[in-house]
């Protein structure tokens, strides 16, 4: 069982980073092989809509997204972590998602499995927002669920926390880190 975490925050060691690390620790505690990718450390361009991927289902740009495609293909569980930036996912996360247009092309143009085979994959979303407004996660959820649908990844759950703003605030939440650890254990057990 391979669990891939993808961190979308530019703030290293921030709130979503810490939740993701706990979830990954929970998954590892149940024997999963784990890997975490920090998008902000990678070098890749946003989707240029060149449509080259429509021919073979691969993106022609040979940047760090090529490694991300390989990791997505090998993962059994995919955990995306992004804080809310302007009512949506971060620019880093959105750029990664848009580059998955190549995987969309595999599925909807070339009629092949978007991640190379048909084994069962599950996805999980972690997010935090500084504010408390009711609809603060709506935009991000539409985007994340759309990606998982395109990738044939079953949406297995989410951990969404409002009113978490400054760096480290998540550690003062009564049980968020524990929830993340347990979610990691559950994600590999189901």
Which residues of the shown chain bind ligand FMN in the complex (CB under 6 A)? Answer: 9, 11, 14-17, 83-87, 128-131, 136, 164-165, 167
Please, which residue, 51 or 165, has the CB nearer to ligand FMN?
165
Q: State in angstroms the smallest separation of the CB of 85 from ligand FMN.
A: 4
Q: State in angstroms the smallest separation of the CB of 18 from ligand FMN.
A: 8
40 vs 38: CA distance, rounded Å: 6
Q: State in angstroms the smallest separation of the CB of 160 from ligand FMN.
A: 11
160 vs 126: CA distance, rounded Å: 6
Q: With beta carbons less than 8 A apart as the criterion, state whether 92 and 10 touch.
A: yes
Please, which residue, 12 or 60, has the CB nearer to ligand FMN?
12
173 vs 168: CA distance, rounded Å: 10
Q: State in angstroms the smallest separation of the CB of 5 from ligand FMN.
A: 13
Q: State in angstroms the smallest separation of the CB of 137 from ligand FMN.
A: 9
Please, which residue, 14 or 114, has the CB nearer to ligand FMN?
14
Cα dist from 122 to 135, 163, 169, whole Å: 25, 28, 28
How many other CB atoms are found less than 10 A from the CB of residue 104? 18
Please, which residue, 37 or 84, has the CB nearer to ligand FMN?
84
Please, which residue, 133 or 189, has the CB nearer to ligand FMN?
133
The residue nearest ligand FMN at its CB is 14
Sheet order of strands, 33-38 included: 33-38, 2-7, 77-81, 121-128, 153-161
Q: Nearest-CA neighbor of 158 among 186, 123, 110?
A: 123
């Amino acid at each position: 069982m391979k669990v891939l975490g993808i961190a979308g925050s530019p703030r290293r060691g921030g709130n979503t980073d810490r939740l993701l690390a706990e979830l990954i620790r929970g998954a590892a505690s149940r024997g999963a092989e784990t890997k975490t990718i920090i998008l902000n450390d990678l070098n890749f361009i946003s989707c240029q809509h060149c449509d080259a991927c429509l021919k073979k289902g691969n993106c022609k740009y040979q940047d760090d997204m090529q490694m991300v495609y390989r990791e997505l293909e090998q993962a059994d569980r995919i955990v995306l972590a992004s804080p809310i930036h302007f009512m949506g996912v971060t620019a880093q996360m959105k750029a990664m998602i848009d580059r998955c247009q190549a995987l969309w092309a595999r599925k909807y143009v070339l009629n092949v499995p978007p991640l190379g085979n048909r084994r069962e994959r599950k996805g999980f979303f972690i997010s935090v927002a500084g504010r408390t407004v009711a609809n603060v996660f709506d935009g991000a959820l539409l985007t994340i669920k759309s990606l998982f649908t395109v990738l044939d990844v079953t949406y297995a759950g989410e951990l969404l926390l409002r009113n978490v703003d400054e760096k480290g605030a998540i550690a003062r939440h009564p049980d968020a880190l524990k929830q993340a650890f347990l979610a990691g254990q559950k994600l590999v057990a189901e």
